[in-house]
Amino acid sequence: MRTNVRARCLIFCCLCAAACLSSSALGSPQPTAAAPCAGSAWHSFNFWLGEWDVFDAQTGTKEAHARIESILGGCAIHEIYDGVSGGKGESLSSWDDAHQVWRQYWVSGKGQIVSIEGTLQNGAIVLTGAEEGTHAPDLVRGIWKPENGAVRETALRSTDNGRTWKPWFDLIFRRSTAANAPSRSEVRPTIARGTAADQ
């Protein structure tokens, strides 16, 4: 009889211990998987995000309105560029973690295609690659750099495979005011940037 009582007590104690362990496991916070694009490199281009009025850096002439958005959970940056002269375009930029470079693909309403890649250099995103679509391939280089709350985008073009470079355009993105920022429905797709003369 005493043996049975002891056995029952032992079983009861084991069951209680198991229940306590199970309860503790359920009550403890479970580790959450890191977001796919949470690393700092994915966000090194975030200074470009926002609603912008775009001006020619040399003349001060307004050239466009641009909306730059983070999409796909921070895995890409979408640009919608609406030129005042009617030129439009859109770009998609993303960090390629496997190759440790930023990649941008830009298409304009005139069929211009720019595919560039590069890295963060001295606080600026510097991307270089081919411009195609409407003429013989050229090389282009775009440089985006934050300046006193604005962003300056400078572009160069090479027609001799990178041996020499000539200025293409020089733009300043300034934070747009609510009064002159178009609604989403008013902004149409855009992608090859440039001044009104280029468009």
Task: List residues bridging with 76 in a β-sheet.
Answer: 71
The CATH fold assigned to 40-186 is Lipocalin (2.40.128)
- The answer to whether 146 touches 50, Cβ cutoff 8 Å, is no
The Cα 7–Cα 9 span in angstroms is 5
Q: Which of 115, 109, 105, 50 is nearest to 85 (CA)?
A: 109
Query: pTM score, two decimals?
Result: 0.73
The reported pLDDT for the residue numbered 30 is 62
Burial grade of 103 (CB within 10 A; 0-12, 13-18, 19 or more): middle
The reported pLDDT for the residue numbered 24 is 45
The reported pLDDT for the residue numbered 27 is 52
Structure-block tokens of residue 149: 């709350």
Name, in order, each residue with C-beta under 8 angstroms of 17's C-beta and a sequence gap of 6 or more: none
The reported pLDDT for the residue numbered 28 is 55
The Cα 44–Cα 48 span in angstroms is 9
The H-or-E segment that residue 28 falls in is none
* Chain centroid offset of residue 128 CA: 16
The Cα 90–Cα 150 span in angstroms is 20
Tens of pLDDT along the chain (199 residues) come to 444 545 454 444 444 454 444 444 445 556 666 788 988 999 999 999 999 999 999 999 999 999 999 999 999 999 999 999 999 999 999 999 999 999 999 999 988 889 999 999 999 999 999 887 766 668 999 999 999 999 999 999 999 989 999 999 999 999 998 544 444 333 333 334 554 445 4
Ranges of beta strands (E only) in the chain are 50-56, 62-71, 76-83, 88-96, 101-108, 113-121, 124-132, 138-147, 150-158, 166-175
The reported pLDDT for the residue numbered 146 is 97
* Chain centroid offset of residue 100 CA: 14
Q: What are the backbone angles phi and psi of residue 22, rounded to the nearest 5°?
A: -65, -40
The reported pLDDT for the residue numbered 183 is 40
The reported pLDDT for the residue numbered 164 is 94
Any idea where the domains of the chain sit in the sequence? 40-186
The Cα 161–Cα 173 span in angstroms is 29
Q: Which of 57, 81, 55 is nearest to 67 (CA)?
A: 81
